[in-house]
Amino acid sequence: MSPNSKLSIISLVAIALACTASIAGAQDPLPSWSDGPAKKAIMAFVYDVTREGSPGYVTPAERIAIFDNDGTLWAEQPMYFQALFALDRVKALAPQHPEWKEKEPFASLLRGDMKGVLAGGEKSIAELLMVTHAGMTTAEFEQIVRDWIATAKHPKTGRPYTEMVYQPMLELLAYLWANGFKTFIVSGGGIDFMRPWTQKVYGIPPEQVVGSSIKTKYEMRDGKPVLVRLPELNFIDDKTGKPIGINSHVGRRPIAAFGNSDGDQQMLEWTQGGGGARLMMLVHHDDAGREWAYGAESKIGTFSDALMAEAKKSGWVVISMKNDWKVIFPFEGK
Amino acid sequence: MSPNSKLSIISLVAIALACTASIAGAQDPLPSWSDGPAKKAIMAFVYDVTREGSPGYVTPAERIAIFDNDGTLWAEQPMYFQALFALDRVKALAPQHPEWKEKEPFASLLRGDMKGVLAGGEKSIAELLMVTHAGMTTAEFEQIVRDWIATAKHPKTGRPYTEMVYQPMLELLAYLWANGFKTFIVSGGGIDFMRPWTQKVYGIPPEQVVGSSIKTKYEMRDGKPVLVRLPELNFIDDKTGKPIGINSHVGRRPIAAFGNSDGDQQMLEWTQGGGGARLMMLVHHDDAGREWAYGAESKIGTFSDALMAEAKKSGWVVISMKNDWKVIFPFEGK
């Protein structure tokens, strides 16, 4: 074989590979989405902002998309998974705290009496959160979260929590990356509760996770620097806190925002307020058969009538889980 | 020309281009650095962490390098450039504030009496900062910074501040990117003061800038969402604040840290504390001829004897601007 014909074969292989890639690219990037208005809105938006010369064109650096987590990327029933984590932690820590048997809200919790826990109101919830989330170093807390997420099971499905994620949203994330987007989580959940697993579960690295936080303190322990988690709130990344968190961590205005509840309204407003091509979407939990159906009356993931009215007024797209998603969880049908 | 020979030519061109790129890659990536211990430490570290199978190998996702800004990436004399920005802003705002002619610290400042300004201590400085940094929306402040940085000139060199950056550090950033690193600024300076220009000047995008901040408030103005900058400190990203800021914004432990003053000690400790291959460096301003010479006695960019002792004890590499940098500013010799 002459050097030239060898090169020709390499070229042919290269071109064949390029063509295969191109055919693959022409496949439906959102196979779990029904061919309805939600999917059309996504595809039209991505086409508009990525096509050079189009009126909505946005440079890759400015293609920032933000996602709420609870109820948007993963489920949030029967209660926020981080709350279930806190309950599990109280049970795990109980042997070291014999005094909890007599002390509320711990006593109720250890008896399995959730009504008794909630009777203490916000003060009780805050106490449970601080006992389970503060007092250790950041490295220790990260390991606690890693251990829990690797072993804990959802009370209804018996699945690991990391499988209770929405397949259509995983496809949406991949579709946005393929089109030059940088994606961030902007969640009311704890920033340090999410970061240990978001890369593995969603493909979103820790530096692109924004969330609520408690204060930390830097100190030396046995000559080693540590950050100690203090029982003091630092930032609540919910409602008006979401645009503040976005400004603090991203420093750019997103062009696309995905949420599911009243806590996401301001982040959608902030996204839309930037002008130019924008996409705002809200996941509506209306599928009692495959997931849960809840909304205006729910204390978790409240989707109020006011939010629905705002969505209609502002042109935000409401995703019906029942109609727009052919598959909800990755494990379906497996 | 047959299709095959056409393909061969394409192949040859492609290979020629690849070879050129490879030769270019073999050129010195740090031409402004003298062949001394500082340059050797950088190159040995990068080689160690990027070579698969080496004991110090680090996956690309974990290759996080952090840089202080004032005195590390750009100059900080005769005072922090952000302070010079604040002084310029007071002068620009003075016509709207006739009362300042009688009110300290403004009266002294407008007379050019810096001693009089400083006589008011921290309270005066804080007042100047808040008057010039708060009260407007984030979008308005961004525009103010953009306008200033595009026109203001350094009092000694007459150059735009964006040219008062260190050429060897620009080369170091590019070298780290070429080796799969993600770089962050971690500065005591204002996060919103830096973000409008760090991409253009250093190639570091806003979402990779960590700094001090004031609080913001989300509100609707004429149906448009805005974030208003409040005259209230939110976070000071200096000394023990730097590891806290890194944990909050990056969520990973850096493997390389570059600073120049006492305010950077904890960020270097935190970086080193992660274990494994690590690189900690401190720029020492010891070149009165080409830049400035200052250190232990300076109020700006203090490099105390204690920090020098810590560097020696901990194996942190001190960069002598005089000996290690062949060029300091990009405009030299032009």
Closest by CA to B72, choosing from B299, B291, B331, B309, is B291
Question: What's A61's DSSP letter?
Answer: G
pLDDT at residue A26 in the model: 67
How many Å apart are CA A311 and CA A306, to the nearest integer? 9
Query: Residues B228-282: pLDDT tens digits?
Result: 999 999 999 999 999 999 999 999 999 999 999 999 999 999 999 998 999 999 9
Q: Is B222 left (phi over 0), alpha (psi -120 to 50) or beta?
A: left
Q: A206: which chain B residues are within 8 Å (Cβ-Cβ)? A: 250-252
- A206 closest CB neighbour out of B205, B206, B251: B251
Q: How far is B93 from chain A (nearest CA, A)?
A: 26
Tell me if chain A has a CB within 8 Å of the CB of B110. Answer: no
A32 alpha carbon, distance to own chain's centre: 18
Query: Residues A61-116: pLDDT tens digits?
Result: 999 999 999 999 999 999 999 999 999 999 999 999 999 999 999 999 999 998 89
Using CA atoms, how far residue A143 sits from A82, A86, A140, A148, B301, in Å, is 15, 15, 5, 9, 37
Q: A61: which chain B residues are within 8 Å (Cβ-Cβ)? A: 199, 205
Query: Residues B123-182: pLDDT tens digits?
Result: 998 899 999 999 999 999 999 999 999 999 999 999 999 999 999 999 999 999 999 999
DSSP structure string for B142-174: HHHHHHHHHH-B-TTT-SBGGGSB-HHHHHHHH
Q: Is residue A274 classed exposed, middle or buried when 0-12, 13-18 and 19+ CB atoms within 10 A define those classes?
A: middle
CB contact under 8 A, A11 and B10: yes
Contacts 24+ apart (CB under 8 A), B91-95: B93/B131, B93/B132
Mean local confidence (pLDDT), A300-315? 97
- B266 closest CB neighbour out of A138, A192, A218: A218
- B218 closest CB neighbour out of A15, A208, A243: A243
Tell me if chain B has a CB within 8 Å of the CB of A16. Answer: no
Q: Which of B7, B13, B17, B19 is the mutation pick for testing A, counting most A CBs within 10 A?
A: B7
Q: B146: which chain A residues are within 8 Å (Cβ-Cβ)? A: none
Q: Which amino acid belongs to residue B320?
A: S
How many Å apart are CA A242 and CA A269, to the nearest integer? 10
Q: B5: which chain A residues are within 8 Å (Cβ-Cβ)? A: 4
How many Å apart are CA B254 and CA B251, to the nearest integer? 9
Q: B250: which chain A residues are within 8 Å (Cβ-Cβ)? A: 206-207
- Tokens 């052919």 correspond to A326
Whether residue A24 is predicted with pLDDT greater than 60 in this model: the reply is no
Query: Residues A219-237: pLDDT tens digits?
Result: 999 999 999 999 999 999 9
Higher pLDDT, A133 or A115: A133
Q: How far is A100 from chain B (nearest CA, A)?
A: 32
Q: Is B135 left (phi over 0), alpha (psi -120 to 50) or beta?
A: left
Which residue does chain B place closest to A3, by CA atoms? B8
Whether residue B21 is predicted with pLDDT greater than 90 in this model: the reply is no
Closest by CA to B181, choosing from B73, B60, B277, B46, is B60
Higher pLDDT, A254 or B14: A254
Q: What angle do CA B55, B56, B58 make, to 5 degrees?
A: 120
Whether residue A13 is predicted with pLDDT greater than 90 in this model: the reply is no
Q: B213: which chain A residues are within 8 Å (Cβ-Cβ)? A: 248
Tell me if chain B has a CB within 8 Å of the CB of A267. Answer: no
